[in-house]
Amino acid sequence: MAAAHNLEMEEDVNLNRDREMKEMLQEEKLRADRAGKDPFRLKKVHRIVSKWMLPEPVRRTYLERANCLPPPVFIISISIAELAVFIYYAVWKPQKQWITLDSGILESPFIYSPEKREEAWRFISYMLVHAGVQHILGNLVMQLVLGIPLEMVHKGLRVGLVYLAGVIAGSLASSIFDPLKSLVGASGGVYALMGGYFMNVLVNFREMIPAFGIIRLLIIILIIVSDMGFALYRRFFVPANGSPVSFAAHIAGGFAGMSIGYTVFSCFDKALLKDPRFWIAIAAYLACVLFAVFFNIFLSPAN
């Protein structure tokens, strides 16, 4: 009797084990179907992204839970909006040339203009307007190439926080250090993404593939030099019939990225709101914002 009872229990255990195995296989199949027809290719993409965006200790965590849900909606939406606004002013507004736009954008309700600082939305909406083909292409390429992988890893809320922090820092810095000049372009947001990523590569240099790390730093420096060159040209060497545009947003956006952006991007596997570095960066950022608001109300030469 005991032997028969033990045999029945063993058969039940085997049946349960077989049932669990079948359920696990079905779950894996469903997961693969959701990932797409070729999940191995998708895993390869995530593996490449992890090597470029994350240090070694947290790559395994990312790969275990990597997915494209939600997709990088923020960066793609912002890029489409900026491109649409540029096409509107380049095609449907009268322009002498596409290389450098003047009359159309300077009358835009989106541009940051010192004389219209009371229209507070301009401190953010200026990111939608660009000064010419080189300007829009440079910003779009930089934010798509860097922003999409960042959003795949950190998701849209964190990337959006860093991007908009750079945009607001850019316009406020311009209102202080270049108070009589207009401002256009998404460079503040783009430089915030670059600043956060740059600091991550610098701090975790040995863990982010040294050879490629050097290449990445050189690429970032090359992009910054070329973009800053165009910005300086627009500011100091603009033709007599044109209108100079401030470049302070580039520097301020970069500093916002190196503080808030670095903190956000280095907290991949941690709760951001529980990291004291995040609150220190936010407190410093808000202090600068309050000073800029005070300056604009009481001390600005544009008053």
Q: Is 182 helix (H, G, I), strand (E, B) or coil?
A: strand
Three-state secondary-structure class, residue 131: coil
Of the residues 79, 108, 187, 246, which is catalytic? 187
By the 8 A CB rule, do 57 and 263 touch? no
| Annotation marks residue 250 as catalytic | yes
Name, in order, each residue with C-beta under 8 angstroms of 263's C-beta and a sequence gap of 6 or more: 272, 275, 277, 278, 281
**Buried-exposed string 144-173: b where 16+ CB fall within 10 A, e elsewhere:** bebbbbbbbbbebebbbbbbbbbbbbbbbb
Catalytic residue among 113, 154, 250, 266: 250
In this structure, how many other beta carbons lie within 10 angstroms of the beta carbon of residue 269?
12
Dihedral sign of CA atoms 240, 241, 245, 247 in order: negative
Between CA 295 and CA 303 the distance in angstroms is 10
Cite the active site residues: 187, 250
